[in-house]
Amino acid sequence: MDQSTASSASIRRRQKLRSGCITCKKRKLKCDEAEPACTRCVKSNLLCPGYKRPVKWSTKYEIDYGIHSYAGPSSGHSPGIGDSSSSPSDTDNALVLYSPQEESFKLLTHYFASACQVLSSFDSPNNPYRSDLLEFIRNSPIVFNSALSASAAHLSQQEQDTSLIPLTFQTEAISHISRELAEIHVTQHRLAPLRISTAPTIKDDLMLGITLIGMTSSWHDPSSLGLCHFHGARQVFSIWMNQFDLTDLQLPSHRIQRLIASSMVYWEVMASCLIDQEVGALSYLDVFSALPPTTFCYPCPWTGVGTKILIHLAKCMTIARQRRRLVSYNHSMGGDIDVSNRILDLLTQAFTLSLDIDQYQIPTPAEIQNTGDYRTPSDHLCKIAKCYQLVARLELDRALPELTQCLQDVQNQDAIFSQHILELAVKILEIMNTIPEDSRTIAIQTIIFLTAGSALGSSSNADANIKELVADWRRFVLERLHRSFLSLKLQTINRAATVLQVVWARMDSAAMEEPDSTSCKKSPILRVHWIDVMTEAGLETILG
């Protein structure tokens, strides 16, 4: 045998040692991989640990479940700054599954058949969660596991499955995210001593994975709020948004970047209903309000065409929580605490915010890009944006009645203000009533029905017409939420309905009580707020 032949044989022998059990590897012996234990371990009275056979995701099954047809025609998306190219070998190494291939196949099928529809207010090749995420699912273990985590959580709600499969994919996604963040942290420390201004690159798939995992936390458990992911997402997003010129978001090719930006805005609205914070914490989003109007005429899955007004809504919810906290704190201290300076500060912020809300111009249907989904025409998205605008005003006025001009120099301010809030709520619901029940905008309607529905109250001395009006609109809200649940199969919607029912029960009870002469707020609409009820009853959830 010549030298080259001997060398080749040696390489082949070493390659064989890469398979087999760990015990044989450590002993540098050939393993016969017998079942249930290898022969060498049995003869040596050693415990055979078995054989690791990682299963890789194969794309050969995609045609079988129509993955290519879901993607539709190419969107012409060019990779953004956060994108990275991967060689086939890198992709093969990355996409090693930690669950059986059959389960992954089932969950991918469910994702494209159902979950990606629940994740968007419209569904067509223009739905990024159907088309654009396809390439990320193929090439990014973060997005792959995040998408399957959402799919598994949604499927388990339908099948009432208590298995650990959803948690398995969620854990795997979080593991990949953690490793990516750790690498960024290390990179920052390497750059700091060198005083290099270039920050570490945040890839698009990292932001997509974090938002997917965070916003679908309540799909696994309605009580899971995903706030640990949210606080981290803020920091990562701040780095991500500084990587490119934000004015490029108005370009058709930047659909993924628009998806990430709008998703973060929507997540801020959801979080503002759940956490106490200063309005200044949201100031990093103001840069999006300054972008050209054409930027968000492209429909986004979670914000529709109302990304700008949703930034204002997040601030309104923040102010509402701050006012509720002051009321609660003052009440707990027996009313002896002077909070007038803090309320004056809130009023100053709220006044400026109210002007921005009132001046906001909603795009017309003609200005909006077609969604490609007949169940979500452009005018549906315009109406949803209008409702967001009215909800923002409702929550702001309800938190700080001093903003309402109709109360100036009026003796019976309590009754007048209650009528103003009720009229706002009815106006919102009248618009919602013009949107068909089968509109895919039901994916983003829950918070609208909750806020408007929570203002449906009347005093004991209200006339019969007002009481009948309130009762009719209450039925409408519950019917719409029930139909949303039947379509989306998310327990978070049932939770919102439960919050409303508790709110109404407390309102009705308060209306029957004798007015408290020491209270400046006797109306049930003013005495009962859905945020308080949601918190006290332990019914907090992600409302989108």
pLDDT in tens, 409-432: 566 777 888 999 999 999 999 999
pLDDT at 98 over 50: no
pLDDT of residue 406: 59
pLDDT at 72 over 80: no
pLDDT at 439 over 80: yes
Query: In degrees rounded to 5, what are phi and psi of residue 37?
Result: -140, 150
pLDDT of residue 21: 80
3-state secondary structure of 56: strand
pLDDT at 261 over 90: yes
* Helix-helix angle 413-433:378-399, to 10 degrees: 170
Least confident segment among 87-91, 164-168, 477-481: 87-91
CB contact set of 497 (below 8 Å; sequence gap of 6+):
478, 481, 482, 485
CB contact set of 332 (below 8 Å; sequence gap of 6+):
none
Nearest to 373, CA basis, from 481, 301, 306, 307: 301
* Helix-helix angle 378-399:307-332, to 10 degrees: 20
Query: In degrees rounded to 5, what are phi and psi of residue 311?
Result: -60, -45
pLDDT of residue 459: 82
pLDDT in tens, 192-246: 544 444 555 899 999 999 999 999 999 999 999 999 999 999 999 999 998 888 8
* Rounded Cα gap, residues 109 and 62, in angstroms: 9
pLDDT of residue 88: 37
Mean of pLDDT over the chain: 83
Least confident segment among 223-232, 364-373, 514-523: 514-523
pLDDT at 100 over 70: no
What angle (nearest 5°) sits at the alpha carbon of residue 535, between those of residues 531 and 536?
115
Of residues 340 and 100, which shows the higher confidence score? 340
* Rounded Cα gap, residues 72 and 189, in angstroms: 43
pLDDT at 403 over 70: yes
382: enclosing H helix or E strand: helix 378-399
pLDDT at 90 over 60: no
pLDDT at 77 over 80: no
Residue 176 is which amino acid?
H
Nearest to 452, CA basis, from 318, 543, 346, 358: 543
* Helix-helix angle 132-139:255-272, to 10 degrees: 90
pLDDT at 96 over 50: no
Give Rg (Cα) of the chain. 28
pLDDT of residue 336: 58
pLDDT at 63 over 60: no
* Rounded Cα gap, residues 11 and 378, in angstroms: 64
Report DSSP state, residue 59.
Answer: G
- The string over 339-353, giving b where at least 16 C-beta atoms fall within 10 Å of a residue's C-beta and e elsewhere, is beebbeebbebbeeb
- Quote the percentage of the chain above a pLDDT of 70: 78
* Helix-helix angle 307-332:255-272, to 10 degrees: 20
Least confident segment among 14-18, 252-256, 272-276: 14-18
pLDDT of residue 54: 41
